[in-house]
Every structure is written in structure tokens, then in C-alpha cells.
Amino acid sequence: MKTQVAIIGAGPAGLLLSHLLHLSGIASIVLESRSRNDIEATIRAGVLEQGTMDILTESGVGARMQREGVVHHGIELAFGGRRHRIDLTALTGRAITVYAQHEVIKDLVAVRLAADGKILFEVSDVSLHDLHDETPSVRYTHQSEPGVLSADFIIGCDGFHGISRPAIPENPRQDFQRSYPFGWFGILVEAPPSSDELIYAQHQRGFALVSTRSPTVQRLYFQCDPKDDVSNWSDDRIWSELNMRLACEDGWALKEGRIFQKNIIGMRSFVSTPMQYGRLFLAGDAAHIVPPTGAKGMNLAVSDVRLLARGFEQFYGKGNQELLAGYTATALKRVWRAEHFSWWMTSMLHTFADASPFQQELQRAELEYVVSSRAAATALAENYVGLAM
Ligand code: FAD
Ligand code: DHB
């Protein structure tokens, strides 16, 4: 098989890139290791930056997001038994939309398949070859048959555990990382929303987050031991923990319901550079990871592929490689900003078991500053809604 751009991974990065390239008349084929059902059912992100919404809308894949997603103009920070609103729109003129990542995936798969786009699901044994040649290739197995896909470029959109990043040798690759001594316990609940806006709560017992999915399904998270097991958490224990961490002086209370999914995710910050090696480019989680507290991961994947799409338009349209050559430097500017913001939100809102009383007071002072200073609240808000793409 032959195509112009071979894409590894059908996450938000790979699928959106394939769609944007198609709109510019550039052919691509996507190779995905999981099934369509699997990728359309995996519960992950929920918050889309304004810039992400704009790209989905401008590229004609935002209709359902606009109907079913909910625009939020603020978030709340809760600590010391009180809730404080950060008015995102008043401070920045922008907003966020809550629309689940797997719904974005469904919309992108549908639009690719409707345009006869090629996505090979359930491929295995994927390996990358001849990355410095003009026609690099991908070897894989699909339906028990070995295959070779040659292309002008290969884009690794295969997430943190994929095979693309390791295809870049240790020299020149440089990885930066930090892991956190806690994870998030995530649940999906059948209940009406408890709050009109997301609540990020700092509490001595640990962080908690109230998010939403729809008028009937809610998404909640709480800080946990990353090595804990969901089987240790009965529904009663989960509600009791969440109620303690979210308790508020004003009598606000969580609306409980049937918990129908539980999972634990680890947290890390990670950046790999360069994001290009010969004819291989990395995008999204394949190149960088943020802890989820700033809701940045999927949005970064989207901004990476937007840069790549523009680079390929310039390359195929004008024979000019300038944007592609500058990809690592341009993408990493935004990535490091988001890395800092995500680390900062995580540090400000989570409980560190080894924090000294001095560090605990600093954390409280920082939260008080953010909710009382317009300048500090604006800094949070402009990062949260996302800088211009
Ligand atoms: P992925 O979504 O990981 O997609 C990679 C794809 O490649 C997968 O489908 C995988 O099966 C496939 N693949 C892997 N290896 C191979 C291989 N060898 N061959 C072929 N295919 C392969 N981000 C936000 O922006 N906002 C949020 O609110 C937010 N909340 C989050 C909450 C949680 C609980 C979690 C876990 C994450 C959250 N994120 C959030 C992060 C976001 O989900 C990721 O950053 C996003 O999925 C990255 O997209 P991607 O396309 O780069 O990678
Ligand atoms: C959600 C996830 C996040 O990481 C976040 O910061 C806010 C909301 C969510 O899944 O709804």
C-alpha cells in the first residue's frame, strides 16, 4: 500500500490530522491497534478549549459537539469549606466546552469513513522503517496478513505507550519527566449535575473534581494512591470520601446516583524532544503528557496536528518545508506552557503526603491569592481556556 501520510494511532491526534489533510486534498491512511468499538468507548477527557472547538467547527466536524456539548463560562475552586468562582469569560473573553473525548472520536471516525478515508483497525506488530529516506515505510499485521505501507511521511499519533517515540534513537532524543505520588480515581455516575460548573476542590484528604457528561451522567474524580485497586472502593466508601472532600459551608451537596464505571489513572509530566526525526513526526501524547488537572492533554494533541496540517499544506501546495522544519520548536513552546500550567494546578490542588506545615501554608496562600487577585485569576483563566492556536 502507498499513501502520502501514514498515521499511527486513531486517537484525537491521528483522526483529526487525517481529516484536516483530507480537507487539503492530501491522502493518508490510519493504522490503529484497537477495534473501532474500543476507541469509541474509552472514557478519557472532557474539556475542550475554545481553540479546539473552533478547529472542530471550522473543519465541519463540530455539529454534534455544538448541539450536545455544554459551554462553561467559569469554574469553581473550593477550599477551606468555601467555593470561589473563576469567571473565565469575564477574564478572557473565551470559554470551554464539556464534550467527551470519545464523542469527538466517534464524530471523527464517522466523517473519515463517510469520505472513504482508510482506517485499519486492530493492526499489530507495527514497526517503522527507513525514516531518513524519501519513502519511509510502516510494517504491520492486519487480519493475520503482514502488510507494508509506504508514504512520504509517518506521523506517530500512538499515545504515550506507542512505538513511534522509541523509533527515535536515544541520540538525539531527550526526555524530560516527573511523576506524581498520587493518581486519580474516576467514576461515572447516573445522576443529574450537582453543579452548573466544574468544581476543583483542594482538601487535606486529597483533591476532588466534579465534572459532568450530560444531564443524566456525571464524571467525578478524587486523588488516590496510584497503586490502589478499584475493588477496594465500595460505592459507599467513594461517596463518603467525596462528601468529606467537597463539604461546603453553604450547604451545597453532591447529588449521588448509581456508579457504573470506576478506574484509576496515574499522573505524570513528560516531554520528548525533538518531535521530528527524518520523515517521522510525533504528535499528542506520543510526544508529551501532562497530569490531567489542567485539562490540557487532548487540546495539546489538537494544536500539534493543526501545526502539522498547515506544514503539509505548505509542503504539498508550495513545495516549501519551512513550517515542517520548524515543527518541533513551534509545538514545544505551547507544550511547555501547558506543562507548567498543568504542574502548577496539580501542585496547588493536591495533597502531598510529605508536605511540611510551611509548604501547606504556601499552598493555602496561593489558592487565596488566585481567588482574590484579578491578575492571578486571569493567569489561571487564560491558561485554562487555552492560548490562541
Ligand atoms: P491517544 O488518545 O492515546 O491515542 C493513541 C491511539 O494510538 C490509541 O487509540 C491507541 O490504541 C493507538 N496505538 C497505540 N499504540 C499503537 C500501535 N503500536 N499501533 C497502532 N496504534 C497504536 N485532555 C484534555 O485535553 N482535557 C481533559 O479534560 C482531559 N482529561 C483527561 C482525563 C483522564 C482521566 C485522562 C486519562 C486523560 C485526560 N486528558 C484530557 C488527556 C487526553 O485524554 C489525552 O491527552 C489524549 O487522548 C491524547 O490524544 P492522542 O491522540 O495523542 O493519544
Ligand atoms: C475532566 C477531566 C479533567 O482532566 C479536567 O481537568 C476536567 C474535567 C473530565 O473528564 O470531565
pLDDT tens column, 266-300: 999 999 999 999 999 999 999 999 999 999 999 99
* Cα 381 to Cα 374: distance, rounded to the nearest angstrom: 10
Q: Residue written as cell 463539604? A: 247
Q: How confident is the model over 43-100, as pLDDT tens digits?
A: 998 999 999 999 999 999 999 999 999 999 999 999 999 999 999 999 999 999 999 9
Does the annotation count 274 as an active-site position? no
φ/ψ of residue 157, rounded to 5: -115, 35
Does the annotation count 72 as an active-site position? yes
Q: Is the pLDDT of residue 389 over 90?
A: no
With cut-offs at 50, 70 and 90, classify the pLDDT of residue 116: very high
* Cα 231 to Cα 229: distance, rounded to the nearest angstrom: 5
Domains of the chain: 5-46+100-179+268-345 (3.50.50.60), 183-266+351-385 (3.30.9.10)
Cα 188 to middle of ligand 1, angstroms = 18
Adjacency order of strands within the sheet including 153-156: 118-120, 28-31, 5-8, 153-156, 280-282, 276-277
Does the annotation count 384 as an active-site position? yes
**Rounded (10°) CA dihedral 227, 233, 237, 240:** 50
Which ligand 2 atom lies nearest to the CA of residue 345? 6
Q: Is 386 left (phi over 0), alpha (psi -120 to 50) or beta?
A: left
What residues are in contact with ligand 1 under a 6 Å CB criterion? 8-14, 31-34, 39, 44-47, 101, 123, 126, 157-159, 162-163, 186, 265, 284-285, 292, 295-299, 301
Give residue 156's identity as a one-letter amino acid code. G
* pLDDT of res. 190: 98
Q: How confident is the model over 121-156, as pLDDT tens digits?
A: 999 999 999 999 999 999 999 999 999 999 999 999
What residues are in contact with ligand 2 under a 6 Å CB criterion? 45-47, 198, 209, 211, 219, 292-293, 295
Find the catalytic residue in 19, 22, 288, 296: 296
Residue 274 CB neighbour total at 10 angstroms: 18
* pLDDT of res. 388: 84
Looking only at the bridges linking them, the beta strands covering 174-179 and 47-48 are unpaired
pTM > 0.95: yes or no: yes
Torsion sign, CA atoms 296, 302, 303, 305: positive
Find the catalytic residue in 200, 221, 277, 327: 200
Residue 22 CB neighbour total at 10 angstroms: 18
Which ligand 2 atom lies nearest to the CA of residue 297? 4
* Cα 223 to Cα 220: distance, rounded to the nearest angstrom: 11
Which ligand 1 atom lies nearest to the CA of residue 14? 51
- For 212, the grid coordinates are 459532568
Cα 126 to middle of ligand 1, angstroms = 18
φ/ψ of residue 357, rounded to 5: -55, -35
Rounded to an integer, the average pLDDT of 23-30 is 98
> Cβ contacts of residue 9 below 8 Å, gap of 6+?
30, 31, 32, 33, 156, 157, 158, 159, 162, 164, 284, 286
Cα 290 to middle of ligand 2, angstroms = 12
Which ligand 2 atom lies nearest to the CA of residue 294? 6
Starting from the CA of residue 346, give the closest ligand: 2
* pLDDT of res. 284: 98
Torsion sign, CA atoms 151, 159, 380, 63: positive
- Report which protein residue has its CA nearest ligand 2's atom 11: 46
